[in-house]
Amino acid sequence: MYCIEFHSHTIYSKDSLTTPETLINTCRKKGIDRIVVTDHNTIAGAIKAQEIDPELVIVGEEIMTTRGELLAAFVKYEIPKGLEPIEAIERLRDQDAFISVSHPFDRWRNGHWERDDLDEIAPLVDAIETFNARCMQPSFNEEADVYAKSMGLQATVGSDAHHPMEIGKATLTVPLFEDAAILKEVIHQATYQTSLSSPLIHFTSRYAVWRKKYSKKYKDYRPAP
C-alpha cells in the first residue's frame, strides 16, 4: 500500500517558499510514499523534485482554467493557465494524466467552480477533491463529497501543502500503482486520513507572495506576468 500526498506545492508556485529538497526531506520524515507535486500552472518544481527522488515524486500540476482549477497527476507536458476547461482536459487526456478537480466548492478561493460548469466537466474527469486541508469552512469539503458520490466519481484528498508543516495533513492510502492507468483502477480502494490545517496557515502563503515580490533572492521563482 502507498500513502500518497496528492496536492502539494513548491517554491515554483507563486505562494510557496518550499524548495523541492525540503519537500522531499519532509516526506521522508513523515512516511509519505508518493507525493504529487502540483504547482500552480507549471511542472518545473515537480520535475526538479522528481530528479532528486524519482521513486517518491509524481509530476502534477494545478491548472487555472477560465472556470476553475483542475488537479492533475502524471503530467508529461505543462498545461498553460487560462484555457477553457474542456481544452485543458483534452490536453491532459492526450498525455494519459489522472484528472481531479481542486476544492470545487470553496467559494473563498478564485479556483472554485460554479455548479453548472462542474456538471459540464464531471463526465470527463477521474475524481473530485472531496477534502482539502486548507478549506476554512468544513461545509465546502462536505459539499464536494456529496457531489462526487452523486455523480459516481472517485475521490482524492490533499493537504494543498504550501509549507512543509502541512505535508501529510490529508493523504490517501491505496494499493501500489506505477502510472495513471493503474491509479484509476485502484483509486476506489483508497482509504483517507484527513485533518484540517489551521486557518492561520494561509498567512504563510501571503508571506511567500510578499517575499517573492520584494526579495531578489526569489527573482527566479516569481510567476510570469
**CB of 24 closer than 8 Å to CB of 49:** yes
Buried b (16+ CB within 10 A) or exposed e, 40-77: bbbbbbbbbbbeebeebbbbbbbbbbebbbbbbbbbee
Residue 225 has pLDDT above 50, yes or no: no
Instruction: Note down the domain range covering 14.
Output: 2-221
| Number of domains the chain is built from | 1
The pLDDT, as a whole number, for residue 69 is 98
**Which parts of 54-179 fold into alpha helices (H)?**
85-94, 115-121, 138-151
Compute the Cα dihedral for 118, 160, 203, 80 and give only its sign.
negative
pLDDT in tens, 193-220: 999 999 999 999 999 999 998 888 887 7
DSSP state of 156: E
User: Could you give the CA distance from residue 58 to residue 193 in angstroms, rounded to a whole number?
Assistant: 20
pLDDT in tens, 134-166: 999 999 999 999 999 999 999 999 999 999 999
CATH number at residue 70: 3.20.20.140
